[in-house]
Amino acid sequence: MTTSLDRPTADLPPPASAVRRLFKHPRLMHYNRLAVTVLLVNAAFAYARWPLSADTLGHAALADLALAVLVRQQYVINLLFRLATSAPTSWPLKVRWTLGKVYHFGGLHVGGALAGSAWFVTLAVTVTADGGDAPLIAVSWLLVGLLAVIVATALPPFRSRHHDHFETIHRFGGWAALALFWTHTLLSGPRPVPLTVLAVVTFSVALPWLRLRRVEVRVERPSRHVALARFDHGETPFAGSSTAISRSPLKQWHSFANVPAPGRSGFRLTISRAGDWTGSFIDDPPSRVWVKGITTAGVAHIETLFTRVVYVATGSGIGPCLPHLLAGEVPSLLVWATRDPRATYGDALVEEILAVQPHAVVWDTSRHGKPDMVRLAYAAYRDFGAEAVICISNKKLTWQVVHGLERCGIPAYGAIWDS
């Protein structure tokens, strides 16, 4: 099936100036800028206050690690998105372009984790050199070792190749580190401020688990490649949010974009075959799964910053786009490249999409091969008169589209795979 393929792809406009292209380079994306900013602020603090007492080192370590934890908290994430997307569309596009990068907040997590770990290593060396109590020294170096493992396994080479192990180490290692921070603080002589910060961090970590529950799910399989999971357990999430589900809550958790239907309770998740867990979900669908926390805003939630938006999706990337297309809060045009959409996703879903996007560009890759998605996206952006492009695809193609368009001065957004 192909719709509107008479719309040609277009030659890209000339690249922006060299300076603007430099700031649009992937290595200088906002995520990395935020991480570097946190590190520079910490370096400036160290330079201005050096030498630092053991108490100051401990406070600095705790403050940075609190930042790393709290910025990943679901309520905090939703607050950040709410603040960023509250800007009216009358504001200059350059300002809204930057606000749309709110989903790069993970850079604060990385910067805080690295700075906090560095502060704590310095504290451990200081306590040891000063001849501190043996239990305090032992806990200090045990925590240093644990932080080193957490940081090392969170680096992209390990995380991308062994994501399940990364997730397990990050979860249980993080809990163990929090317990050791409590122990270290109590052994150091408890003070109100560190104890208060630790209490807030502990509550933040525990809060999603306090909402852990097992809920019913109905699974439809339009093909062996895709499952449509339907939930109706009393929550109807907002468009642009995601829900994490698990078959075993202490092991793997996987987040998927929520697809609520206007005027109906509940929501759907579109789950495509992309590994052992998703393959097992499709081949052996459960009747119940675990959910925790609250629905959390995702990248596409930034659409309200713009007057008109082009959604670019490949394959099951249609899932995160669908709730926005159905809600129609912002005028949008869909560009969707996928293999045999009706056979893969079912007639019902395809007709639902076309009902709200009659002019969508739907490219059947089984008939026409893979398109140049950057040029296809630009043609849609130009013809539709859009202000921004939101791309939901695999990592390689998302970055091709986002950075390819931004080099040409076009606001573009897509996931950054930082979790």
* Helix/strand/coil for 130: coil
pLDDT score of 39: 97
Given this model, what pLDDT does residue 178 score?
96
Cβ–Cβ < 8 Å for 232, 266: yes
Q: What is the CA radius of gyration of the chain?
A: 23
Is the CB of residue 295 less than 8 Å from the CB of residue 265?
no
Give, for 247, the enclosing helix (H) or strand (E): none
Q: Is residue 9 part of a domain?
A: no
Domain holding 314, by residue range, is 300-414
Q: Does 2 score more than 70 pLDDT?
A: no
Q: Where are the alpha helices (DSSP H) in 130-162?
A: 134-154, 156-161
Q: What is the mean pLDDT of residues 340-360?
A: 91
In this structure, the answer to whether residues 167 and 71 fall within a common structural domain is: yes
Q: Could you give the CA distance from residue 60 to residue 69 in angstroms, rounded to a whole number? A: 14
Is the residue at 18 inside a domain?
Answer: no
Mean local confidence (pLDDT), 370-388: 94
Say how far apart CA 13 and CA 379 lie, in whole Å.
10
Q: Contact at 8 Å (CB) between 270 and 316?
A: yes
Q: Residue 126 contacts by C-beta under 8 Å, 6 or more apart in sequence?
A: 54, 57
Same domain? 64 vs 117: yes
Tell the burial category of 68 from Cβ atoms under 10 Å away from its Cβ (0-12, 13-18, 19+): buried
Same domain, 192 and 113: yes
3-state secondary structure 97-117: HHHHHHHHHHHHHHHHHHHHH
**What is the Cα–Cα distance from 274 to 162, expressed in whole angstroms?**
15
Number of domains observed in the structure of the chain = 3
Are both 56 and 86 inside the same structural domain? Answer: yes
Please provide the average confidence, as pLDDT, over all residues in the chain. Answer: 90
**Residue 14 pLDDT exceeds 80:** no
Give the rounded percent of residues in the chain with a pLDDT score beyond 90. Answer: 65
Do 123 and 185 lie in a common domain? yes
Asked if the structure places residue 20 within a domain, the reply is no
Higher pLDDT, 204 or 21: 204
Structural domain ending residue among the three candidates 272, 292, 312: 292
What is the average per-residue pLDDT within 184-205? 92
pTM as predicted: 0.90
Q: What is the pLDDT of residues 95-131, one digit of tens each?
A: 999 999 999 999 999 999 999 999 999 999 999 998 8
